[in-house]
Amino acid sequence: PTTTDNCSGTLTGTTSDALTYNTQGTFVINWTFDDGNGNVIVVPQNVIVDDITDPTIPTLADVTGECSATATAPTTTDNCSGTLTGTTSDA
């Protein structure tokens, strides 16, 4: 980010904080702006990672059989997690 200073003009913020986050949560980047004349400000910026998109709903075919039938665990995709395998607590 940038800001302006009366004497120095445009200042670009610097930070030693990470710029990329790949886990859920709220993180803070502290940006430092130094005008080179002894005036320094630190400005926080929140980074919020919040997966709010449901996985894609898969289309599941019926499982049929004459004497028996066995279903296999279906898969689907999620924007953040990639491929997901379905689970069940049914017998």
How confident is the model over 18-49, as pLDDT tens digits? 999 999 999 999 999 999 999 999 999 999 99
Q: pLDDT class for 90, splitting at 50, 70, 90?
A: confident
What distances in angstroms separate CA 58 from CA 61, 63, 73, one per listed residue? Answer: 10, 15, 12
Residue 40 β-bridge partners: 34
Q: How far apart are CA 78 and CA 84, in angstroms?
A: 7
Q: How far apart are CA 50 and CA 25, in angstroms?
A: 7
Q: What pLDDT is recorded for position 91?
A: 67
What pTM was estimated for this model as a whole? 0.74
Residue-wise pLDDT for 4-16, tens only, equals 999 999 999 999 9
Query: Percent of the chain beyond pLDDT 70?
Result: 99
